[in-house]
């Protein structure tokens, strides 16, 4: 058996390179060799070819060149030979296969055949994975929420087994890519038949029906070192080391393997991704590429996920509450439609709120859940609508009043991660639903309390010693206690608004992204949040209390070196030590002179527009053109990777309305262009800030893409409205 693998992989590589060539010649005959192609929303051309060779494929003629490179990697097909002596040949051929697959998929895009559509159900596959999605996933990767990725290729022996394997991966927060088929059947089809919700929100991403579509997953992971790691295209050794060391992917190959699956697998082994098969394949022991089995088998479908986790060495820590439904972030994205809903709370239909309240240790009985109300059981059994007030009392020796808001923000996730429970909003604008299925499975009101108890302990181990939950369901109680809660929300907001960088002597670092961007450090101050938007100063302060050796460390400000640009001795020292020497000094309040570095998961990019004497801000997800002639994806490519780039900077959305936003450069007056969606998002806070700055009409003077997509039009507009940036000192 093992004799045929190397020859199978090499044979398939020859075939697919020939197939790509045929398709390419046909397309060139139709469209001409100068026809330009790019995958949707990426700055990395054909990412596999670009990453491995540094060659940017932009036209059909370029594809011809790239295919020539693939051909050079081909070796003669050995005749029934063992794997090991032919390892190098097989791996080279595997890479040639990936190049050919990438070109075939590009050509399919040109022909309008991608993303593929399932002819039976009309289901549209995901197709190519965009840079935007990749950056969105960035934070989940680094903070350990997502321990790894599974590419499932083929079909399970039956529909139920497919569901079982996928559910097990979901519960472990492993992102799942689906591709390939066995005699026309596939896991995607199996899940569709079982009405399993598919998509990014549920961690199940069907890429396409064929083996070739597996390449989209590999294309995605080869961009990680380019986006986050600061590695250069063409430096293939570093790229492959990065994917092996930092991207925890593996393949589950279900059903028989054909030559192309072996060859694609050989390509993936280059990247450090092993394959676990449910058929009697020969096991391929470590050969030097990996320190673990490259191909392994597990015939028992109850054990195959566990086996894969062991082989690839994933760290999976799942803590779930004792409830009768599945639990984990993969269930957060589920929607509960009206027809599937059993009962709901809040959402304008009934009064509802949730509130975390700090108490003294002796005031809290740990683990207790109390439900206060009349005829609770009967009313719950009837379904429909119910008022709901949830009060979570926490106590702990290291608990602080400031942490209430942070614990409260997690209540949303606590509930949403349960399968069949749905939660939206926060504070007194929450909306919750329980699905009919979850009710059938035995979910009760008490489980809300159980979930909050267990998960608050899990998430906040070292600051929370005791948790108790009280649930109110009578309208008058809910309304009465809601008033108390509102008072507490107001006090919190006032305290937060009063906090400035000057009022504290300690900032915090966030080093989470170093697992992907080794030289990047976010410096987080009360007035500047992390560039991913997920961590503010209070969050990092709490995170440090929770885990003193974790990714958030205190930075003593030390002596102030420049109060206008925002430079301190303590920050500089910290950065020198923790950026691997890459950053010597930092100014927190300017974009022009040693600005903050970016990893890759910024919410927005600020960039100067010299002609306008100001800056523009573009958010992730905006795919149109900007006045400096670059799309977000292109800009992101130059900003990321942990280097300082004067004139360009990644930021979190909320920084825009901070008093310290480009403070040394003239503040918000410098903003001349923002995307429409970003304007809408910050409108309220921005107008307040503008008033405070003495430019109450600034918001209306800022252009967006409906007004200008190039600098000429932009200047016309700015002049016509008299934008203040035109009158300010030159930026440099
Ligand atoms: Fe990464 Fe900065 Fe966000 Fe931390 S705050 S997760 S380092 S982007
Ligand atoms: Zn990051």
pLDDT at 293: 84
State what percent of residues in the chain have pLDDT above 90: 78
The answer to whether the beta carbons of residues 577 and 597 sit under 8 Å apart is: no
26 CA to middle of ligand 1, Å?
47
| Alpha carbon distance 69, 322 (integer Å) | 55
pLDDT tens digit string along 663-678?
Answer: 999 999 999 999 999 9
Q: How many CB atoms lie within 10 A of CB 591?
A: 23
Asked whether 534 lines ligand 1 (CB < 6 A), one says yes
Q: Of 331, 448, 326, nearest to 386 (Cα)? A: 448
Give the C-alpha separation, 145 to 547, whole Å: 16
| C-alpha of residue 606 to centroid of ligand 2, in Å | 16
- CATH assignment of 131-312, among 3.20.20.140, 3.40.50.2030, 3.40.50.1100, 3.40.50.2300: 3.40.50.2030
How remote is the CA of residue 520 from the centroid of ligand 1, in Å? 9
Partners of 107 in beta bridges: none
In a mutational test of the pocket of ligand 1, which residue from 145, 522, 620 has the highest number of ligand atoms less than 8 Å from its CB?
522
Residue 640 Cβ < 6 Å to ligand 1: no
Q: What is the pLDDT of residues 46-55, one digit of tens each?
A: 999 999 999 9
**Going by C-beta distance under 8 Å and a sequence separation of 6 or more, which residues neighbour residue 563?**
none
For residues 246-269, average pLDDT = 94
Distance (Å, whole) CA 680 – CA 673: 13
Q: pLDDT-derived band of residue 450, with 50, 70 and 90 as boundaries?
A: very high
For residue 551, the ligand 1 atom closest to its alpha carbon is: 4
User: In whole numbers, what is the pLDDT of the chain averaged over residues?
Assistant: 93
Contacts of 497 (CB under 8 A, 6+ apart): none
Strands 522-524, 204-206: pairing is unpaired
Decide if pLDDT at 139 tops 80: no
Give yes or no for residue 247 CB within 6 A of ligand 1: no
Say if residues 647 and 614 touch (Cβ distance below 8 Å). no
Q: How far is the CA of 243 from the centre of ligand 2 (A)?
A: 17
- CA–CA separation, 272 vs 291, rounded Å? 9
Q: Where would I find the H helices in 587-730?
A: 632-639, 676-692, 698-701, 711-721
Would you say the CATH fold of 329-492 matches that of 3-110? no
Closest C-alpha residue for ligand 1 atom 1:
513
Write the residue with the smallest CA distance to atom 5 of ligand 1: 530
Neighbours of 578 (CB within 10 A): 18
The torsion of the CA quartet 51, 57, 62, 64, rounded to 10 degrees, works out to 60
Check pocket membership of 531 for ligand 1, CB cut-off 6 A: yes
Q: ∠416-420-423 over CA atoms, to 5°?
A: 30
The mean pLDDT value for 475-491 works out to: 95
> Rounded mean pLDDT of 527-552?
90
CB neighbours of 587 closer than 8 A, spacing ≥ 6?
562, 565, 566, 567, 593, 594, 595, 664
We find that the CATH architecture of domain 3-110 is Orthogonal Bundle (1.10)
**680 CA distance to ligand 2 middle (Å):** 25
pLDDT higher for 24 or 542?
A: 24
Q: How many angstroms separate the CA atoms of 238 and 156, rounded?
A: 35
- Which tokens is 100 given? 């050919």
Tell whether the model's pLDDT for residue 202 goes beyond 70: yes
CATH 3.40.1470.10, domain 502-727, yes or no? yes
Answer whether 597's CB lies under 8 Å from 585's CB: no
| pLDDT greater than 60 at residue 1 | no
Q: Is the CB of 728 under 6 A from ligand 1?
A: no
pLDDT(143) > 80: no
Q: Which of 428, 433, 429, 403 is nearest to 415 (CA)?
A: 433
Q: E-assigned strands of 466-526?
A: 466-472, 506-510, 522-524
Does 437 sit behind a cis peptide bond, omega within 30 degrees of 0 on the bond before it? no
Q: Is the CB of 532 under 6 A from ligand 1?
A: yes
Rounded Cα gap, residues 48 and 72, in angstroms: 16
On whether the CB atoms of residues 124 and 117 are closer than 8 A, the answer is yes
What's the mean pLDDT in 490-518?
89
* Cβ of 67 below 6 Å from ligand 1: no
> Which of 137, 142, 642, 652 is the pocket-test mutation for ligand 1 (most atoms within 8 Å of CB)?
142
Tell me the C-alpha distance between 400 and 417, whole Å. 26
Percent of the chain with pLDDT over 70: 98
**Extents of the domains making up the chain:** 3-110, 131-312, 329-492, 502-727
Six-digit token string for 638: 């130059």
- Do 660 and 501 form a contact (C-beta atoms < 8 A)? yes
Average pLDDT over residues 411-434: 93
Residue whose C-alpha is closest to residue 554's, from 521, 508, 522: 508
Q: Tens digits of per-residue pLDDT, 284-326?
A: 887 767 778 889 999 999 999 999 999 998 888 777 899 999 9
3-class SS of residue 251: strand
Give the distance (Å) from ligand 2 centre to CA of residue 544. 18
Gap between the Cα atoms of 122 and 519, Å rounded: 45
235-266 burial code (b ≥16 CB/10 A, e <16): bbeebbbbbbebbbbbbbbbbebebbbbbbbb
C-alpha 190: how far from its chain's center? 27
Please report how the helices 60-73 and 3-31 are oriented relative to each other, as an axis angle in degrees rounded to 10: 160
Q: For residue 136, which ligand has an atom nearest its CA?
A: 2
DSSP state of 231: P
Most informative mutation of 512, 521, 539, 655 for ligand 1 (most atoms within 8 A of CB): 512
Atom of ligand 1 nearest to the CA of 143: 6
Nearest CA to ligand 1 atom 3: 532
**137 and 220 in contact (C-beta within 8 Å)?**
no
CB atoms within 10 A of CB 501: 21
Q: How far apart are CA 679 and CA 63, in angstroms?
A: 40
Mean pLDDT of 486-508: 91
**Which of 102-111, 393-402, 526-535, 598-607 has maximum average pLDDT?**
102-111
pLDDT in tens, 312-371: 988 887 778 999 999 988 898 888 999 999 999 999 899 999 999 999 999 999 999 999
Structure-model confidence comparison of residues 289 and 409, the more confident one: 409
Q: Compute the distance between CA of residue 277 and CA of residue 285 in angstroms, rounded to an integer.
A: 14
Q: How confident is the model at residue 4 (pLDDT cuts 50, 70, 90)?
A: low
The dihedral built from the CA positions of residue 196, 200, 203 and 209, taken in this order, carries a sign that is positive
How confident is residue 714, by pLDDT bands cut at 50, 70 and 90?
A: very high
Separation of 601 CA from ligand 1 center, angstroms? 7
Domain 329-492 has CATH 3.30.420.40: no
Structure confidence at residue 692 as a pLDDT band (50, 70, 90): very high
From the CB of 522, is ligand 1 less than 6 Å away?
A: yes
Question: Residue 103: CB within 6 Å of ligand 1?
Answer: no
Decide if pLDDT at 570 tops 60: yes
Residue showing tokens 């974009």 = 591
Regarding the beta carbon of 516 and ligand 1, being less than 6 Å apart is answered no
| SS3 per-residue string spanning 128-147 | CCCHHHHHHHHHHHHCCCCC
């Amino acid at each position: 058996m093992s004799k045929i693998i190397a020859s199978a992989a090499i044979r398939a590589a020859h075939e697919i390179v020939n197939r790509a060539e045929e398709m390419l010649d046909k397309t060139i005959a139709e469209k001409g060799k100068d026809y330009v192609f790019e995958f949707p929303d990426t700055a990395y051309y054909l990412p596999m070819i670009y990453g491995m060779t540094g060659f940017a494929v932009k036209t059909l003629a370029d594809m011809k060149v790239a295919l020539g490179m693939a051909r050079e990697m081909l070796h003669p097909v050995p005749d029934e030979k063992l794997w090991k002596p032919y390892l190098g040949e097989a791996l080279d051929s595997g890479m040639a296969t990936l190049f050919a697959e990438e070109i075939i998929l590009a050509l399919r895009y040109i022909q309008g055949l991608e993303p593929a559509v399932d002819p039976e159900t009309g289901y549209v596959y995901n197709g190519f994975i965009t840079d935007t999605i990749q950056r969105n996933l960035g934070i989940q990767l680094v903070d350990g929420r997502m321990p790894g990725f599974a590419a499932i290729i083929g079909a399970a022996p039956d529909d139920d087994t497919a569901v079982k394997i996928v559910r097990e991966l979901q519960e472990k927060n492993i992102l799942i890519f689906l591709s390939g088929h066995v005699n026309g059947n596939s896991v995607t089809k199996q899940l569709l038949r079982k009405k399993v919700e598919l998509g990014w929100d549920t961690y199940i991403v069907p890429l396409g029906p064929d083996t070739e579509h597996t390449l989209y997953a590999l294309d995605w992971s080869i961009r990680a070192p380019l986006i986050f790691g600061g590695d250069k295209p063409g430096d293939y050794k570093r790229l492959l080391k990065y994917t092996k060391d930092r991207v925890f992917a593996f393949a589950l190959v279900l059903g028989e393997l054909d030559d192309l699956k072996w060859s694609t697998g050989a390509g993936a082994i280059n990247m450090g991704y092993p394959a676990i098969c449910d058929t009697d394949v020969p096991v391929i022991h470590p050969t030097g590429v990996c320190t673990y089995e490259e191909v392994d088998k597990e015939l028992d479908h109850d054990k195959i996920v566990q086996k894969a986790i062991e082989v690839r060495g994933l760290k999976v820590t799942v803590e779930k509450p004792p409830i009768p439904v599945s639990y984990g972030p993969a269930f957060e994205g589920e929607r509960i439609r009206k027809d599937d809903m059993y009962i709901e709370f809040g959402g304008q239909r009934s009064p509802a709120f949730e509130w975390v309240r700090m108490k003294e240790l002796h005031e809290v009985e740990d683990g207790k859940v109390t439900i206060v109300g009349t005829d609770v059981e009967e009313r719950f059994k009837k379904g429909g609508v119910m008022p709901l007030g949830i009060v979570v009392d926490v106590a702990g020796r290291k608990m602080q009043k400031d942490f209430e808001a942070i614990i409260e923000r997690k209540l949303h996730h606590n509930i949403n991660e349960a399968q069949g429970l749905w939660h939206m909003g926060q504070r007194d604008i929450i909306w919750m639903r329980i699905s009919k299925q979850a009710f059938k499975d035995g979910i009760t009101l008490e489980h809300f309390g159980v979930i909050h108890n267990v998960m608050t302990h899990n998430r906040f181990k070292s600051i929370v010693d005791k948790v108790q939950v009280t649930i109110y369901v009578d309208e008058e109680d809910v309304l009465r206690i809601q008033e108390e809660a509102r008072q507490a929300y107001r006090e919190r907001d006032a305290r937060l608004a009063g906090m400035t960088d000057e009022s504290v002597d300690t900032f915090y670092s966030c080093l989470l992204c170093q697992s992907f961007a080794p030289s990047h450090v976010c410096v987080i101050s009360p007035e500047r949040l992390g560039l991913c938007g997920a961590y503010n100063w209070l969050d990092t302060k709490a995170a440090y209390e929770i885990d003193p050796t974790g990714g958030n460390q205190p930075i003593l400000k030390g002596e102030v070196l420049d109060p206008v640009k925002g430079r301190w001795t303590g920050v500089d020292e910290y950065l020198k030590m923790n950026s691997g020497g890459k950053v010597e000094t930092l100014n927190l309040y300017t974009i022009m002179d040693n600005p903050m570095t970016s990893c890759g998961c910024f919410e927005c990019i600020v960039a100067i527009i010299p002609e306008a004497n100001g800056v523009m801000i573009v958010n992730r997800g905006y795919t149109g053109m900007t006045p400096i002639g670059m799309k977000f994806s292109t800009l992101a490519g130059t900003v990321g990777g942990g280097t300082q780039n004067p004139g360009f900077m990644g930021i979190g959305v909320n920084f825009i309305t901070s008093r310290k936003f480009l403070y040394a450069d003239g503040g918000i007056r410098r903003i001349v262009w923002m995307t429409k969606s970003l304007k809408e998002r910050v409108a309220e806070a921005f107008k307040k800030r503008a008033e405070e700055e003495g430019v109450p009409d600034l918001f209306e003077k800022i252009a967006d893409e409906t007004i200008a997509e190039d600098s000429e039009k932009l200047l016309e507009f700015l002049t016509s409205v008299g934008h203040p940036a035109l009158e300010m000192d030159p930026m440099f």
